[in-house]
Amino acid sequence: MSAARLGYLGPPGTFGEEAAIKADPRAEHVPFPSHAAIAAAVEAGAVEQGVLAIENSLNGSVAETLDILIHDSTLDIQREVVVHVVHNLIARPGTRIEDVSVIYSHPHAFNQCRRFLAERLPNARLEASLSTSAAVEAAVAGDLGAAGIGTSRAAELYGGAIVAAAIHDADNNATRFVVLGRGKQLPTGHDRTSIAFTFTQDRPGSLAGVLDQFARRGISCSKIESRPTKAVFGEYVFLVDFVGHQDDEAGRDALAAIRPLCAEVKVFGSYPRAE
């Protein structure tokens, strides 16, 4: 279902905007300064849905988004979007790569372009920015010798030139985004369900007992991890993504079976898997 207004992590020119356009090209795309602000805007009704990064193929899960889902949000995951990450070195038109002495970007982008930076620009100073888009804007507006790592759209938006294209180290770099809104999605036959659960106390075999309930029903758990409860040091919330819908017979039975084993079970949503 198309959203009239769809929030994303701005400013324009970020991978968040790319995910928003891919998720719903017909919506009005509204930038926000943080994932928490996006979720709060959806909760308040300022936008109907919001796009939040949840996992990168190289850097792993996005802790901020997981904590929002666990602790702060009553929203449901409506669908997911996967964006292929392409980083470019962008500067003022006329800048040559040998002119570059300072590079702006988000820390994740620096990490994902380490080999290129070490080989081609070992003496350049790296300056962290809040986003790849802000990095490109600062570089283009700055002195000759400044460059930013960002998207080709950011180059277009801020009048920059791509000095070196596709400078990321790994071609399989991709980020998975989830679209948060209200309401359950109907089964499609090609779904993923995301849940979180806790235990009353730490006992040997507790986690294995929960996972066994999925195995008994032939359900594949595609992702398993944990986050601190933020209540007591050493206590954790466990997060599982499993293949299937919470309203499928197997999924429904598995969730019913694990509830007595857990202190709390929270279903973030069942939604169509991205191709």
Taking the C-alpha atoms of residue 17 and residue 25, their distance in angstroms, rounded to an integer, is 10
Element (H, E) at 91: strand 88-91
To the query of whether residue 74 is one of the catalytic residues in this protein, the response is no
> How many Cα atoms sit within 13 Å of 240 on the Cβ side?
24
Residue 235 makes CB contacts below 8 A (sequence gap 6+) with 198, 202, 228, 229
Alpha-carbon Rg for the chain, nearest whole angstrom, is: 21
Identify the active-site residue in 15, 110, 177, 199. Answer: 177
245 touches 166 (CB < 8 A): no
Enumerate the β-bridge partners of residue 147: 91, 103
Say whether the peptide bond before residue 11 is cis (omega within 30 degrees of 0): yes
Kindly tell me the burial class for residue 201, based on how many C-beta atoms sit within 10 Å of its own C-beta (0-12, 13-18, 19 or more): exposed
Identify the active-site residue in 65, 95, 151, 175. Answer: 175
To the query of whether residue 175 is one of the catalytic residues in this protein, the response is yes
Residue 225 makes CB contacts below 8 A (sequence gap 6+) with 61, 238, 239
Taking the C-alpha atoms of residue 237 and residue 71, their distance in angstroms, rounded to an integer, is 10
Residues with a catalytic annotation lie at 175, 177
